[in-house]
Amino acid sequence: MGSEFTYYLGLDMGTDSLGWAVTDSSYHILRAKGKDLWGVRLFPAAETSVERRTYRVSRRRRQREVARIGALKELFADEIEKVDSGFFVRLDESKFHMEDRSESNKQKYGLFSDNLFTDTEYYAKYPTIFHLRKELLESEKPHDVRLVYLALLNMFKHRGHFLNSSLQIEGENSSVGESYHTFVDTLNDSELEFPEHVSEEQLNEILRSNDSRKRKVEKLLAELNISKKQKRECQFINLICGLKGKLSDLFPDKEYDEEQKKLAFSFRDSDYEEKENTIRELLDESEMDMIDAVKAVHDSAVLSGIMKDYPYLSVARVASYEKHKQDLGILKGVLKRYDKKAYFEMFRNENIKEESYSAYVGSVNYHGIHRRGLGSGKQEDFYTKVKKVLKEFPQDDEDVKYILVEIENERFLPKQLTASNGVIPNQVHAREMSAILKQAEHYLPFLKERDDTGLSVSEKILQLFMFQIPYYVGPLGQEYKDKKGYNVWAERKAPGKIYPWNFEEKIDVKKSAEKFIGRMVRRCTYLSGEQALPKQSLLYEKFQVLNELNNLRVRGEKISVSLKQEIYHELFEDGKKVSMTRLTNFLLRNGIISSDEKDSCISGIDGGFHNSLSSIGKFKGVFGDTVYTDEHRKMIEDIIFWGTVYGDGKKLLKEKVEETYGNQLTEVQKKRIFGFKFSGWGRLSKEFLTMEGASKEDGEIKGLIQAMWDTNCNLDVV
């Protein structure tokens, strides 16, 4: 090819391939060394860090669980050694087959091997761990130290979630009313109509009742005075009651493809976590906050239904066990009376079908056939099978009537292990643990012994159980900090093993939090080194709204600056999102457009505004109209910044607010502020939005945000 020759190189770049071709000016493929100059290079597609992060989080969670259980074992070791020196070895190897156990532990029992008390007697007396926990709660008689350890060990392995930091040990199990009011607070920038003032007693009564989920929906609609024509509100009510909600009906103003339009979900779906990832990708933060808030109402209702009026979880679980036992006896009796073949299929068939009782509970035990861990079938499949079988039986039989009613109300043959266990918070378990330890202190004196920390063994156990490493402190592996790639920012005060009771002696929490802020805060896109604003800061939300509002056109022409400012004050400053309907009604009301042209004369925005002044709406409920004063704006911006940095770390947020503004806020105002949720970072810094530049229209030197206010220019139109 000579120096005057012209040729084109075409590239087709994909996520896992690169296609290329070389042509002359007439687009004929060229040749070199006997080959056409075109081809493709394939390579593995890039992967996000989600899978790796999931494994890392699971590994750390498991490591911390093992460490907690190890500390619990240390506290009990001396006392259990006096009674049974081989107990921990048997317990650790109880999951192994006989041939896989150590030579010193070749025995058939996995827990107890006393002369008068073996595993046989243990399981006969305590069919489930909750029977043991309940007895330790209620009985004042002395119990074997090993039984107390087993009960505590079970709680340490299933210690509940930490999502509700405001819930106290010595308080109610859950508050449906409080969760509902938090949900309503998240709606301040939407057009959903949910009443703020409702009877908490009625909410509890409806959601805890024995009615079916559909019946609960009907009652809740009536209580909240919501019509079935209010489609969006009805979808949220469905979610609260455990039914499915359709995403495209919940948020109809968004764009969906064909698959996304079909997406429906319930918080009780076994695959909800997978669907949640898809939902988060489709919704913005304020919309996802609404989903999280309505889930909190649902979870509070489920927890309330689990606990009923029982003070402790184990008492409720034993009651559930007894009901299952009673229902099973009734079902067996009915099948034996009317259809022995159906009885065999339901309970004794080794070829387990999905809808049988054996599949429902995941085991079968019949004449030498003993299989467990088969995987549980779905409740709805089992209920459908039972109803189908019962159709052939006399409908006036009282037992048949009972079974059908219980199935209709979804409380027939309740199970202990269900997905709903995920709603139980740590505080519910901790309340029961505290009561068990108080009872045990009467016959196990070592639990009251104190060491140089000033804490008793019981107090240490509770702290171990309830402690959670603040996420802004992060991993504690300081000794490996210099190792390449090790992700640690925790600042130590002193070396040594860390326990909950010496955490603040070993870790400098404030310095760790400051380093966390430095890692978390995003940097400005345009000004190198400057911190970006929180996405929900007052200034950044104003920028986002103006950047969208300045594009608004009526009859193809940009609106006047004065009208733009009037729309901002009248529609946006209430904190709610401004839909096309609200905008159209405002323009009609003020004579800007006529009713004949309302559907065709507005352009420049896509079916309504996507941004809002949500933080103004939140803090107006706290400060009223004084939210606009310089004093309050500074306070609000600080609170939003801290709330974004610390996220769910409410303790540190409370400390910062108390330290800086404690004397300026009432307790009522503080409580409301601590209930707000802020997340996400913008792309721009305060310095960028307020830096001076020349306004294009009048040449006056103004800050960027001021220029956007005084003109109809935005950041994309200079």
Mean predicted confidence (pLDDT) in 575-579: 82
Structure token digits, residue 549: 């509002």
Structure token digits, residue 109: 């029992």
Q: Residue 10 has what pLDDT?
A: 94
Q: Residue 368 has what pLDDT?
A: 62
> Residue 561 in contact with residue 710, Cβ under 8 Å?
yes
pLDDT digits (tens, 9 = 90+) for 608-651: 788 888 888 888 888 888 888 888 899 999 999 988 887 766 77
Mean predicted confidence (pLDDT) in 185-214: 80
Element (H, E) at 208: helix 200-208
Tell me the pLDDT band of 188, cut-offs 50, 70 and 90. low
Q: Residue 374 has what pLDDT?
A: 65
Mean predicted confidence (pLDDT) in 372-395: 84
Strongest mean pLDDT among 42-51, 243-252, 367-376: 243-252
567 CB-near residues (< 8 Å, 6+ apart):
549, 552, 559, 578, 583, 586
pLDDT digits (tens, 9 = 90+) for 419-436: 778 888 898 999 999 999
pLDDT digits (tens, 9 = 90+) for 649-696: 677 788 888 889 888 888 888 888 887 888 888 999 999 998 877 555
Strand-strand pairing, 364-366 and 532-534: unpaired
Q: Residue 211 has what pLDDT?
A: 83
CB atoms within 10 A of CB 465: 20
Mean predicted confidence (pLDDT) in 511-528: 81
Distance from chain centroid for Cα 60? 19
Best CA proximity match to 112, nearest among 84, 153, 132, 142: 84
Average pLDDT of the chain, as a whole number: 85
Query: Does residue 396 come out as left (phi exceeding 0), alpha (psi in the -120 to 50 range) or beta?
Result: alpha
Q: Residue 174 has what pLDDT?
A: 61
Q: Residue 403 has what pLDDT?
A: 93
pLDDT digits (tens, 9 = 90+) for 298-326: 988 888 888 888 889 999 999 999 999 99
Answer whether residue 367 shows pLDDT above 70.
no
Helix (H, G, I), strand (E, B) or coil at 217: helix
Structure token digits, residue 654: 């409370």
The residues facing 702 across adjacent strands are 693
pLDDT digits (tens, 9 = 90+) for 331-344: 999 999 999 888 88
Q: What is the CA radius of gyration of the chain?
A: 32
The residues facing 264 across adjacent strands are 246
> Residue 245 in contact with residue 235, Cβ under 8 Å?
yes
Tell me the pLDDT band of 172, cut-offs 50, 70 and 90. low
Tell me the pLDDT band of 169, cut-offs 50, 70 and 90. low
Q: Residue 718 has what pLDDT?
A: 36
Helix (H, G, I), strand (E, B) or coil at 555: coil
Q: Residue 485 has what pLDDT?
A: 44
Tell me the pLDDT band of 480, cut-offs 50, 70 and 90. very low
Answer whether residue 171 shows pLDDT above 60.
no
Answer whether residue 365 shows pLDDT above 70.
yes
Q: Residue 444 has what pLDDT?
A: 95
Cα 348 from Cα 366, distance rounded (Å): 6
> Residue 160 in contact with residue 299, Cβ under 8 Å?
no
Q: Residue 476 has what pLDDT?
A: 80
Best CA proximity match to 688, nearest among 522, 523, 548, 527: 527
Cα-Cα-Cα-Cα dihedral sign, residues 157, 161, 166, 168 = negative
**More reliable by pLDDT, 606 or 584:** 584
Structure token digits, residue 624: 């009223």
Element (H, E) at 557: strand 557-558
The residues facing 523 across adjacent strands are 531
**More reliable by pLDDT, 460 or 475:** 460
Cα torsion for 422, 424, 430, 434, to the nearest 10°? -120
Helix (H, G, I), strand (E, B) or coil at 697: coil
Mean predicted confidence (pLDDT) in 462-467: 93
What is the C-alpha end-to-end distance of the chain, expressed in Å?
A: 46
Answer whether residue 118 shows pLDDT above 80.
yes
Q: Residue 717 has what pLDDT?
A: 39
Cα 718 from Cα 702, distance rounded (Å): 14
98 CB-near residues (< 8 Å, 6+ apart):
106, 108
Strand-strand pairing, 264-265 and 31-32: unpaired
> Residue 174 in contact with residue 300, Cβ under 8 Å?
yes
In 146-213, where do the E strands start and end? none
Answer whether residue 707 shows pLDDT above 80.
yes
